[in-house]
Every structure is written in C-alpha cells, then in structure tokens.
Structure 1
Amino acid sequence: MLARRTLGRIAAQPQVLGAAPSGARNMATLREIELRLKSVRNIEKITKSMKMIASTKLAKAQRAMQAGKQYGIANSEVFEHSPAEHSGKRKLFLVISSDKGLCGGIHSSVSKATRRAIADKDVPVEADSPIMVVGDKAKAQLSRALGKNLVLTFNQIGRDIPTFADAAGVADLIMKSGVQYDGITIVYNQFVSAISYESATMEVATEASLKESSGFKAYEMEEDVTKDLAEFSLANAIYATLTESHACEQSARRNAMDNASKNATDMISKLQMQYNRGRQAAITNELVDIITGASAL
C-alpha cells in the first residue's frame, strides 16, 4: 500500500524537475519580455540623448578644428623652403586618442596605424621605437601589443575642446622626458566629413634635424633658438592634431549613438510583436480552458 502511494506521488510530479505548468510558463515569459522591453526603451532614451549632446559638441569641435588647422598650416609653411633633415631609424610615435568610449572604432584606428607603422618593413623604423599616448583608450589597446614601447602616457586631455595650453603642456613633457629619438611621428584621426574619418600621420622636426638642415645652417642662431623653435613647432602640430581628433571623436560618437538608437527601435518593435503574440496565445489558452470547463458542466 505504501509502495502504491509512493509511485502515485512520483507519477503526479512533472517530468522535468522545476518545470511549471504551461500557463505559468507563458506568463513568466511575458514578464521577461516586458522587463526587456522596459530596459531597451531606457537604453533608447539614453542613446538619443547622447546623440543630441554629441551633435551639439560636434559643431563646437568643428569650429575649434578650423582654428587648430591654422596652426598646422603655419607650422608647415615655416619648414616649406627649408625642410628638416630626418635621419635615423628611432622614431617617437605620439598617438592621439581620448579617455572616453562609445565612439565606434576611432581609438582602434590609431592603434592599428601605429602597429602597422612599426611593423612596416618598407620604412626603416626600429622595433623598440618609443611610443607616447594621449588618452587611456589607445593606451589600453597598445599596452597589450606594444607594452614594452610605451614610455609616457597622458590623460584628462580632450575631455572638452583642446586648447593650445594642453598641447604646450604635452610638448613640454615630451621635451623633458629624456627619451632618445631621431624623429617624431604623430598618429591621429583625420577629419574627412561628418560621417567619416581616417588615420593619418604627421612628421615633426626635432632640434637635431633642424640643426642639420641646410636652410637653417645659413643663419647664425643660438642654441636656445633652435630648441625653442622645435618645441613650438611640436606644440603647434599637437594642437592641430588634438582639435582634429576631437572633432572626429564627436562625429564618431554621434554616428554610433544614432546607430544604437536605430537598433534599439528595431529591437523594441520585435519585442513588442513577440509580447503581443505571447499575450494573445495566453488569452486564447485561458478561453479554451473556460470553454472546455463550461462544456464539461
């Protein structure tokens, strides 16, 4: 008798442990879809707000970029008729990025360009060439592949529109770092349009290369003049690339948030359709149960 009762209890249990009745399972699924819909709607609100903020900042960044480009143009005109002599294989790579994310692949663009420049066999560059990074995002990427080459990093630059004081501070720290190099290459993102950008490089003359230049040898200058000119030209180049990279970052963030908002809208429509179908199925099952019970009575 006891064995029959035990077998009856086992038979009465669900086939799968922890399984709920079909009606309860449908309601749980509807509850999960409802919670997911709520979270996706909140994400859509955030991405739309970030898109509006990035659009506002992009207009300011473009105006600052136009002003920064004037520094770069003036800097190139100084050395147009008396180019510096770039000698030596040991180059200093200055990578321009930022501390913020959610802007697509803008940081990986300069990281990949730096790795290609060092690994390029057509251009004579030493494998242990020093690397300095502006921004924590590119620093994290390059530390995995070229961690031994990193000698100096800068952060908290570019949180707002970069200024010439920021560029001058970076140039001053580079000159005082004591790192040995034969040339300076700045790797940055070049602004193509409001929806596109590409990685680019800019060569900057050093103090030693200016002294070896035939155009500068024609004039008698003191030691401090050449050093100050090299530091000032480096600050000009850094400022021009900082402002252009900042404009690229705001453009990429706006495009990324726009794509994220569109994806969230598509996901909301799919989840809403799935929720409606599940709700209709649950109502239909309840009606079938009611009709079946009424027929039995």
Structure 2
Amino acid sequence: MFRLGATTAARFASAPARNYATLREIETRLKSIKNIEKITKTMKIVASTRMGKAQRAIAASRVYSSGDKEFFEVSETKAPEEQEKTLLIAVSSDKGLCGSIHSSIAKNARKKLAEIPNADVVTIGDKIKVQMLRTHADNLVLSFNGIGKEAPTFYESSLIADEIAKLGSYDRVEVLYNKFLSSVAFEPTYVDSFTAASIDASAKLSTFEVDEEASSTAAVAQYSLANTLLAAMSEGYASEIAARRNAMDNASNNAGDMINKYSILYNRTRQAVITNELVDIITGASSLG
C-alpha cells in the first residue's frame, strides 16, 4: 500500500495541480496515510508488550526440550535409515502482517517434499495450511488452527500430539519451525521427533530405567513429541512477534515518510490554487478597469 501511495505521489508531483478536486484527493490520501500510521504504531506497541511473554515461553520450553535431547543423546537414539513412511509437521500460526515468517516455512516444506514426495504433512496454523494446499494438497493429512493468539502451552501441544498419534505409526517424524535467534533474526529449522520404534532400537536405552513394554516406549515417544511441538510453537511464536514488531516499525517509518511528502505536495498544490484564484481576481479587476 505504501509503495502504491509513493507512486501516486510521484504522479501528482509530475502533473500540474490546478483545481480543488486534486487538492481534495491529496487531502484524502494524507488522512488515510495518517490513519494507517496510527494503526501500525499501535500494532508495534502491542507486539513489543508481548515480546517479553514470548521469550519467557521459549525459556520454559527449552528446559524440557534440552532434557529430551540429553536423553536421546545418551541412549544414542537415531532415525532409521529406511524410511517408508515420513511425517512432516510444519509449525506456523493463524496471523499475518509479520514479514516472511510463514512463507519461509512453506518454502522449506516444499523443499523437503521435493526430496520425499510421498511424505504426509501436518500443518499447525492456517497460514501454512493455505500455502501447502496450493501446491501439496494431496500430502496434507491433518491441520490445526487457533494457534498464535497467545503463547503456547504444554496443554495445547499435548492435545496436538494426541491427534497426530491417531494417524498411525511412521518411520520418521520431522518438525519444521522458525527458530528464534534474536529480535531481528529467525531461522527455519528441522528437528527429529523420535518414534517408539527408534527408541526401542536405541543402543544404550538400558542406561535408563525404562520398561521394555511397547506401551512404555510409545508413551515416551508421544511425550517427547509434545515437548518438541511445545518448543517449536514457542520458538515460532517469539519469531512471529519479533517479525511483526519489525514489520510494523518499518511500515510506520514508511508512512511517516509519505506523510512528509504528501504534506509538502498538499501545501504546494494549495498555494498554486490560491495563486490561480488571485490571478483570476486581478485579471477580472483589470478588465473592468
């Protein structure tokens, strides 16, 4: 919208403005841009206030994900070499106006599906769902919405993990999400969520006191998936909040620049109209004299 406005401003500046209609058009556009600036500044403030909560959610989720990581490293759990059935879980949200957060996830998901065309896809968030439906509708087996309004909780991730478990068993499960690096940077990241079969095949599983029953390793796998999803959703939520704050800051700055340009254009056009009226009055008075 801002670029379109800049183009319109250039058109007004290049063409002579000699009537009230043009002056009213400029005034209307100027008011519209000022309203947009108010909205973007408000959205930036809202995103800034949510940033602290998002970072606390990351810190909490990383405690559990680091515990899972240590468990799998010690037990030497690995993904199987032969992967007949693969599940890709793409984590995004329902909200927009946050830069390339969603498109980066969709781009990386398409790259993965180019490598594994028969993989099933689960989407978390409407934005990634819409983008995947455009190109890989046949791969999409399950989707979730209502994500991203608030910081994610373990209750949410466990419910999602329960629904995913109903899809059946997979040889490999990969979670794709935006990893929060800083307030100005994020990185699309893959992480494995090991299945019960992979846990059973761990070389040093006996290091831990885990029952040899299949239900025990299945419970560990499902709990690990819930932890992985919580970490992915928390990282993605923080990345989205930071990206939205930056996007709204840039939009506010662009709006401010356009307001300055349109204000100058408005004043020049107004002066031209007044000058033309004075010329008409003087000309009329001269002809009467």
TM-score, normalized by length of structure 1? 0.87
CA separation of 1:153 and 1:295: change in aligned 2, threshold 3 A: same
Say whether residues 1:280 and 2:280 are aligned partners. Answer: no
Match of 2:27 among 21, 31, 34: 34
The residue aligned with 2:134 is: 144
Q: Distance in 2 between matches of 1:51 and 1:278?
A: 33
Is contact 2:18-2:269 (8 Å) kept?
no
Find out whether 1:206 has 2:195 as its counterpart.
Answer: yes
Query: Where does 1:93-242 land on structure 2 (aligned, <5 Å)?
Result: 93-120=88-115, 126-178=116-168, 180-216=169-205, 221-242=212-233
Query: What amino acid is aligned across from residue 167 of structure 1 in structure 2?
Result: S
Q: Tell me, in whole angstroms, the C-alpha distance in 1 between the residues paired with 2:17 and 2:211.
A: 91
- For residue 223 of structure 1, report the CA deviation from its aligned partner: 1.6
* Letter paired with 1:279: R
How many Å apart are 1:158 and its aligned residue?
2.6
1:95-150 deviation per Cα after TM superposition (whole angstroms, max 9, x unaligned) = 11000111111001111111112224xxxxx3110000000001111111111100
Alpha-carbon distance, 1:177 to partner: 2.2
- CA 1:293–1:108: 2 relative to 1, 3 Å: same
Q: Distance in 2 between matches of 1:288 and 1:49?
A: 46
3-state SS in 1 of match to 2:19: helix
Which protein is bigger by CA-based radius of gyration? 1
Q: How big is each residue's C-alpha offset from its partner over 1:12-56, in whole Å with a ceiling of 9 and x where there is no partner?
A: xxxxxxxxxxx9961001101111111111110010000000000
Contact 2:173–2:192, Cα closer than 8 Å, also in 1: yes
Secondary structure of the corresponding residue to residue 264 of structure 2: helix
2:186 maps to amino acid: Y
Match of 1:13 in 2: none
CA shift for structure 1 position 213: 2.1
Q: CA offset at residue 84 of structure 1? A: 2.3
Residue 41 of structure 2: aligned partner: 48
- The answer for the alignment partner of 1:72 in structure 2 is 65
1:215 CA displacement: 2.1
Whether 1:62 aligns to 2:55 is: yes
Residue 79 of structure 1: how far off its partner (Å): 0.7
1:82 aligns with one of 75, 86, 94: 75
Paired residue total: 269
For 1:146, what is the secondary structure of its paired residue? helix
Quote the Cα distance in structure 1 between the aligned partners of 2:214 and 2:244.
45
Aligned to 2:247: 256
Q: 1:217 Cα shift?
A: 6.5
Q: CA deviation digits over 1:60-104, x for unaligned, max 9?
A: 101111111111101101111212232233321101100011111
CA 1:257–1:24 in 2, change beyond 3 Å: closer, same or farther?
A: closer
Aligned AA (2:276): N
SS in structure 2 opposite 1:79?
helix
For normalisation by structure 2, the TM-score amounts to 0.89
Q: CA deviation at 1:294?
A: 1.4
SS in 2 for 1:214: coil
Residue ranges of structure 2 left out of the alignment (5+ in a row): 1-15
CA distance, structure 2, for counterparts of residue 208 and residue 26 of structure 1: 78
Q: Give the residue type in structure 2 aligned to 1:289.
A: D
Q: RMSD between aligned alpha carbons?
A: 1.7
- Residue 245 of structure 1 pairs with residue 236 of structure 2: yes
- Which amino acid is the alignment partner of residue 260 of structure 2? S
1 CA distance for matches of 2:211 and 2:43?
55
For 1:32, give the aligned amino acid.
Answer: E
Deviations 1:173-227 (A, max 9, x none): 111123x521111000011111111111111100111122222368751121011
Are the structure 2 counterparts of residues 24 and 113 from structure 1 closer, same or farther at C-alpha, using a change threshold of 3 Å?
closer
Question: Which stretches of structure 1, 4 residues or longer, exceed 4 Å deviation after superposition?
Answer: 217-220
How far apart, in 1, do the equivalents of 2:153 and 2:129 lie? Answer: 21
Q: Which amino acid aligns with 1:26?
A: N
- Percentage of matched positions with identical amino acids: 49
